Chain A
Amino acid sequence: MLTITRDLHDKIVAHARADHPDEACGVIAGPAGSDRPERFIAMMNAERSPTFYRFDSAEQFRVWREMDDNDEEPVVIYHSHTATEAYPSRTDISYASEPQAHYVLVSTREEDATEFRSYRILEGVVTEEPVTVVE
Chain B
Amino acid sequence: MAIEVRIPTILRTYTDGAKQVEGSGSTLAELFSDLDQRHGGLRERLVDEKGLRRFVNVYLNDEDVRFISGLDTPVKDGDTVTVLPAVAGGSR
Interface residues of A (CB under 8 A from B): 23, 25, 27, 43, 47, 49-55, 57-58, 60-61, 64-65, 77, 79, 81-84, 88-92, 95-100
Contact = CB atoms under 8 A, between A and B. Distances in A.
Given A60-B57, A61-B59, A100-B9, A95 B92 contact: no
Contacts of A84: 91
Interface residues of B, number: 19
Interface of B: 8-10, 55, 57, 59, 62, 64, 66, 82, 84-92
Contacts of A79: 89
A61 B84 CA distance: 8
A52 B9 contact: no
Given A64-B84, A98-B10, A91 B90 contact: yes
B64 A53 contact: no
25 contacts: A43-B87, A51-B91, A51-B92, A52-B88, A52-B91, A53-B89, A54-B86, A54-B88, A55-B88, A57-B59, A58-B64, A61-B59, A61-B62, A61-B64, A65-B62, A65-B82, A81-B91, A90-B92, A91-B89, A92-B90, A95-B87, A95-B88, A95-B89, A96-B89, A98-B87
